[in-house]
Amino acid sequence: MGHRCRAAGALGSAARVPRKGNHRVCMICGEPPEVCGPLSTRGLCEQDAKARMDENNAQLRAHRGPFFERWRIRGIASYGGTVPALDSGAGDPHTR
């Protein structure tokens, strides 16, 4: 319906995503590619990209954390449904 470009533009401006290949040093360890290896498009060296992926996977398995929240909301939205409240033993003390 033509909303895709608008959403992408909003995300891009909000996060100030650098252009591809714009990173000079790793965003996590701060080392240049000469030291820590080629950087990903997100500005992470291979080691830190892997560490972040491991953290992501751990959160998906543990069903908690910002990575999981993003994945959960996006996954449910992709089914065309609404995101239910976290009220089934998710452990948020503020819901009680």
Can you give the binding site for Zn ion, defined by CB under 5 A?
Answer: 26, 28-29, 36, 45, 48
Residue among 37 and 65 whose Cβ is closer to Zn ion: 37
Exposure string over 25-42, b if 16+ CB within 10 A, otherwise e:
bbbeeeeeeeebeebbee
- How far apart are CB 75 and Zn ion at their closest, in Å? 29
Residue 75 backbone phi and psi in degrees, to 5 = -65, -45
Residue among 46 and 69 whose Cβ is closer to Zn ion: 46
Residue among 29 and 77 whose Cβ is closer to Zn ion: 29
Residue among 23 and 45 whose Cβ is closer to Zn ion: 45
d(CA 17, CA 10): 11
Residues 6+ apart with CB under 8 A from 82: 76
- How far apart are CB 42 and Zn ion at their closest, in Å? 11
Residue nearest to Zn ion (CB): 26
- How far apart are CB 59 and Zn ion at their closest, in Å? 20
